Structure 1
Amino acid sequence: MSLSRRALLSTAGTAGAAAVVAAIAPPAAAARHRGPRTPRSLRQIPLQGAVNVRDLGGYRTLDGERVRHGLVYRADHLGKLTDADLTTLGGLGLSRAIDFRIPLEVASDGADRLPAGVTAVSRPITDNGLFGQLHAVIGSRDPVRQEEALGGGRAAAFMADVYRTFVTDAANRNAFGQTLRELAARGAGPVLYHCTSGKDRTGWTSWLALRLVGVPEHLATEDYLASNTIRAAHDARVREGLRQAGLMRNPELIVPLQEVRREYLDAALSEVRAGYGSLYRYVTAGLGLDPRALVGLRERLVG
């Protein structure tokens, strides 16, 4: 055990601290489950104007506890919510909604519609230029340009690069770290965070939060991959709409951009190992979470 891990146990002196340490052991020590299963504990919030809204609670931890429901919600963008959706969200008792979108995304899809009393927090995390480049390529209506930009594995490679910036970009690290610290804050009300599709920036935040409170890697990864099942019908309609509008001859080119894939998550984790050596070092040295914040996250969200 490294000195920093001893310090964590000494600071906390609880079984919860031991669970945190076990949860963020090097990924190679854990079994690798790659199946496209939807987690049995998934608790989706049905809305008309958003697709991928769910409660992060319900998962079992390594020590047999369970992540509490009703404290953390993950979502796609909330700019198209109906009045009925606002009523549904209002019933969750949210204190704040954290928006990871960059200004270009907000301008395209609209600012969040939120129930009265919910504090809107803008916390942009870069998409490495994905949104702007995708709009330009699709807007060109040029099948040759679209193939050159997105075909031959290039779309998937671009997504892997986006995930690497979650680790390498200092501003991104600050945003992820600040969000996790807020989730750990005592007395904080329920929090929702989201990006545009609720799968990449939101997915990485959720994967980290689940791992840090002691959820096994394969369950955190199932939660991450569940976006594919949840978004499948909506994303297929988007592709068909592009075809019918004459914007894309082959809209299947954007499938790698619409999906989450284990290879994208692995790209971020490879960067974690290269830059920090371990997930523990990434969240402490990279994201700025001290041992008390890690233990606070566990104590607030698990029980």
Structure 2
Amino acid sequence: MSESQTMHDQTHQPEGPARSLGLHGAANARDLGGYRTADGRTVRTGAALRGDALHRLSDADLETLTALGIRQVVDLRGLNEVRENGSDRLPGLDPEQVAAVELTDGATSIDAGPVRLVHLPVYSPEHDVYVALREVLSVQDAAAQHALLGDGGGERLMSEMYRWFVTDPVIRSRFAQTVRLLADPDGTPLLFHCTAGKDRTGWTAAVLLTALGVDRDTVYQDYLVTNERSAPTVARIMAAFTRNKVLEDPSLMLPVIRAEESYLDAAFAAVAEGWPSFDAFLADGLGLDAGTLAALRKNLLVD
């Protein structure tokens, strides 16, 4: 463990798994530290952090990130999402520097400040759920909305996206690169995020925790914490749909904006269909060799 990691662990003691980072502008940002592995070790606190997008961070939130000693931020959002919602706010980085990285279609990074920003967009026009939603919501056509989202349509859209996380080689490479960054002893604390911190972030966390030896039930528990942390946001979204009469039946949107076990089921099922074991998926599907996985466990686990 590096000196900075030791100091960080001493000053930020765990409050149990899924500890909130206390970011007012990113309520779903939390620590993956504290989870136990099958061999009795524990995921290091303050090293691997997951969250929702950072474009709403306040000045106080930036101070919190600085205090956490964040060294790297991985943004998994696509270009369209960054354009619509805004670039991340990060300590020590000029907004124009951040925009130059995040407003791109491909993988890119910047090392110009105290925080390294890495943009690894998990995006494809063929799997952009939000484009389909914007189109159907903009016309306010109840029949079209029901055709897309009704009778299990929302669940199918989301499950198909989670399977795509596993089946698409380019997209797999983005998740794999995030894991490689976490294996670098000089690269943590690292925070990875998408827009809501639910789907792409959720699958990244599931892959990471599984690679570290955390059991499947705990992986699901961490995934579903999103529903607790995002409940106020979901309530505001649903109230806005009702108030603005965007949807005749606002409940049609719930499968899209909530985390559901069946979505993670779909990703794990795709792994099982393509590889004989999760270890084989890590090695052959993600290209993570034994040395990288050993470094990951050394970096993120404590006895």
Could you state the TM-score of these two structures normalised by the residue count of structure 2? 0.85
Report the equivalent of 1:208. 207
Unaligned runs of 5+ in 1: 1-38
Select 1:44's aligned residue among 20, 24, 37.
20
Select 1:124's aligned residue among 115, 121, 142.
121
Measured against aligned partners, the alpha-carbon deviations of 1:148-172 in whole angstroms (never above 9, x if no partner) come to: 1111100000100000011111111
State the alpha-carbon separation in 1 of the partners of residues 25 and 271 from structure 2.
Answer: 35
Measured against aligned partners, the alpha-carbon deviations of 1:106-155 in whole angstroms (never above 9, x if no partner) come to: 11110101111222211100261112111112222222211111111000
AA aligned to 2:58 is T
Select 1:75's aligned residue among 48, 51, 58.
51
DSSP-derived class of the 2:68 partner: coil
Report the equivalent of 1:99. 75
State the alpha-carbon separation in 2 of the partners of residues 187 and 230 from structure 1.
Answer: 30
DSSP-derived class of the 1:121 partner: strand
DSSP-derived class of the 2:49 partner: strand
Task: Report how far residue 187 of structure 1 moved.
Answer: 2.3
CA-atom RMSD in angstroms:
1.4
Report the equivalent of 2:100. none
Q: Does structure 2 retain, via aligned residues, the 8 Å contact 1:105–1:131?
A: no
Comparing both chains, which one has the higher relative contact order based on Cα–Cα distances under 8 Å and sequence gaps of 6 or more? 1
Report the equivalent of 2:254. 255
Measured against aligned partners, the alpha-carbon deviations of 1:263-282 in whole angstroms (never above 9, x if no partner) come to: 11111111111111211111
State the alpha-carbon separation in 2 of the partners of residues 235 and 40 from structure 1.
Answer: 25
Report the equivalent of 1:151. 150
Are 1:218 and 2:194 matched, yes or no?
A: no
Q: Does structure 2 retain, via aligned residues, the 8 Å contact 1:166–1:173?
A: yes
Report the equivalent of 2:61. 85
Report the equivalent of 1:182. 181
Q: Does structure 2 retain, via aligned residues, the 8 Å contact 1:75–1:194?
A: yes
Task: Report how far residue 40 of structure 1 moved.
Answer: 5.5
Runs of 4+ in 1 over 6 A off after TM superposition: none
Report the equivalent of 1:287. 286
State the alpha-carbon separation in 2 of the partners of residues 244 and 84 from structure 1.
Answer: 32
State the alpha-carbon separation in 2 of the partners of residues 74 and 240 from structure 1.
Answer: 27
Unaligned runs of 5+ in 2: 1-14, 93-113
Report the equivalent of 2:297. 298
Q: Does structure 1 retain, via aligned residues, the 8 Å contact 2:241–2:250?
A: yes
State the alpha-carbon separation in 2 of the partners of residues 283 and 247 from structure 1.
Answer: 42
